[in-house]
Chain A
Amino acid sequence: MSTLPETARASEAAEPIRASATPATASPADLPVEAEEIAFEIRNFSMWYGQRLALQDVTIRIAARKVTAIIGPSGCGKSTFIRALNRMHDLTPGTRLEGSLKHFGENLYGPGVEASVVRRRVGMVFQKSNPFPTMSIADNVLVGLRLNGVHDRGVLQARLEESLRMAALWDEVKDLLNRPGTSLSGGQQQRLCIARSLAVQPETLLMDEPCSALDPIATAKIEELIQTLRERFTVVIVTHNMQQAARCSDRTAFFYMGRLIEYGDTRNIFTNPGNPQTEAYVSGRFG
Chain B
Amino acid sequence: MDASPYLPTPEYARWRKWKSAAVTWLLVACALAVIAPLFLVIYFLVARGASSLDWNFFTQLPKPTGEVGGGMANAIVGTLTLLVMAAAVGVPFGVFGGIYLAEYGSDRANNWIRFAADVLNGVPSIVWGMVVYLLLVVPFKTFSAYAGGVALGLIMVPLVMRTTEEVLVLVPQSYREAALALGIARWKVIVVIVVRTALKGIATGVIVALARIAGETAPLLFTALGNSFWSHNLKEPISALPLQIFAYSISAYDDWHRQAWAGALVLMALILALNITVRVMSRDRKSAS
Report A's interface with B, CB cutoff 8 A. 86, 88, 91, 93, 115-121, 123-124, 126, 128, 130, 132-134, 143-144, 147-148, 193, 196-197, 200
Contact = CB atoms under 8 A, between A and B. Distances in A.
Contacts of A121: 183
B178 A147 contact: no
Contact of B178 (A91, A118, A126): A126
A133 B198 CA distance: 10
A88 B177 contact: yes
Given A116-B186, A121-B183, A148-B182, 4 more contacts: A117-B183, A120-B183, A130-B172, A143-B182
Contacts of A144: 182-184
Contact of A123 (B174, B181, B199): B181
A135 to B, nearest CB: 9
Interface string B170-188: 0010110111111111101
B181 A197 contact: yes
Q: Which 4 A-B pairs have the closest CB atoms?
A: A120-B183, A144-B182, A124-B181, A130-B174
Contacts of B106: 93
Contacts of A124: 177-178, 181
Interface stretch (B45-53, B110-118, B189-197, B260-268): B189-197
A196 B182 CA distance: 8
Interface of B: 106, 172, 174-175, 177-186, 188, 192-193, 196-197, 199, 288-289
Main secondary structure of the interface of A (DSSP, over half): helix
Contacts of B196: 134
B177 A126 contact: yes
A73 B288 CA distance: 37
Given A130-B172, A130-B175, A147 B192 contact: yes
Contacts of B175: 130, 132-133
A27 to B, nearest CB: 35
A132 B197 contact: yes
B168 to A, nearest CB: 14
B29 to A, nearest CB: 44
B179 A132 contact: yes
Contacts of B289: 133
Nearest to B196: A134
Contacts of A126: 174, 177-178, 181
Contacts of A91: 180, 186
Given A143-B182, A144-B184, A200-B182, A132 B193 contact: yes
Given A133-B289, A143-B192, A128 B182 contact: no
Given A128-B174, A143-B192, A147-B188, A134 B181 contact: no
B178 A119 contact: no
Among A91, A147, A197: residue with most chain B CB under 10 A: A147
A133 B197 contact: yes
